[in-house]
Structure 1
Amino acid sequence: MLKWAIELGQFDLEYFPRTSIKGQALADFILEFDSEVYNKAIVLAEPSSQGNPPVDVMEDFPHPWWILHVDEAVNNNGAGAGIVLITPEGNRLMSVIHFKFYVTNNDAEYEALINSLKIALEVGVVKLIARSDSELVVNQVNGGFQARGPRTELYMRCVQRLLEKFGSARLEGVPRKENSNVDALEKIGSQMDSVQLGQISLGIQEIPSIPEVRVFQTQEIPRENWMTLIHNYIRMGAFPEDKLQVRRLRYQVAK
Structure 2
Amino acid sequence: MHKPESSSRMLKWMVELGQFEVDYKPRTAIKVQALADFMLEFPPHHEVEQGTLVIIPSAEEVRLESQNSAPWWSLFMDGVSNGDGVGAGIELISPKAHKIRRATHLAFHATNNDAEYEALINGLKLALEMKVKNLNVFSDSMIVVYHINGGYHAKGPRTELYLKCAQRIIERFNEVRLELIPRRQNEGANKLAKLGS
Indicate whether the TM-score tops 0.5.
Answer: yes
Q: Could you say which structure has the higher strand fraction? A: 2
Structure 2 gaps of 5+ residues are 1-66
- Selected match of 1:141 from 117, 139, 148: 148
Larger relative CO (CA 8 A, sep 6+): 1 or 2?
A: 2
Residues 77 and 190 in structure 2, CA contact (< 8 A), matched pair in contact too? no
State which structure, 1 or 2, has the greater radius of gyration over its C-alpha atoms: 1
Q: Which amino acid aligns with 1:70?
A: M
* 1:57-104 deviations in Å (ceiling 9; x for gaps): xxx572110000000111111111111000000111111111001101
- Change in CA separation of 1:91 and 1:142 when aligned onto 2, cut-off 3 Å: same
Matched, 1:157 2:192: no
CA-based RMSD of the aligned residues comes to: 1.5
In structure 1, how many angstroms separate the alpha carbons of the residues matched to 2:176 and 2:144?
16
Q: Residue 66 of structure 1: SS of its match in structure 2?
A: strand
Matches within 5 A, 1:190-229: 190=197
Equivalent residue number for residue 223 of structure 1: none
Deviations 1:146-193 (A, max 9, x none): 111111111111111111110111111111111112222111111xxx
TM-score (norm 1): 0.50
**Which residue is 1:174 aligned to?**
181
Spell out structure 1 runs of 4+ moving beyond 2 A.
none
Distance 1:61 1:117, change over 3 A: closer
Please list the CA deviations of residues 104-125 of structure 1 after superposition, one character each: whole Å capped at 9, or x if unmatched.
Answer: 1111111111111001001100
CA spacing shift, 1:87–1:97, aligned 2, 3 Å: same
Paired with 1:114 and 1:75, the residues of 2 have a C-alpha distance of 20
Distance in 1, matches of 2:76 and 2:158, equals: 24
Secondary structure at the aligned position of 1:166 is classed as coil
2:132 counterpart letter in structure 1: V
Partner of 1:69: 76
Does the residue aligned with 1:148 lie in a helix, a strand or coil? coil
- Separation of aligned partners in 2, 1:119 and 1:92: 12
Aligned to 1:226: none
| Paired residues of 2:104 and 2:196 also in contact (CA < 8 A) | yes
AA at the equivalent of 2:150: G
Alignment of 1:84 with 2:122, yes or no, is: no
Letter in 1 for 2:139: S
Sequence identity, in percent? 50
**Quick check: 2:89–2:104 contact (8 Å CA) kept in 1?**
yes
Which residue does 1:221 correspond to in 2? none
Residue 129 (structure 2) pairs with residue 122 (structure 1): yes
| Counterpart Cα distance in 1 of 2:147 and 2:80 | 20
**In 2, Cα distance between equivalents of 1:80 and 1:169:** 23
C-alpha offsets along residues 177-211 of structure 1, whole Å, 9 cap, x if unaligned? 11112222111111xxxxxxxxxxxxxxxxxxxxx
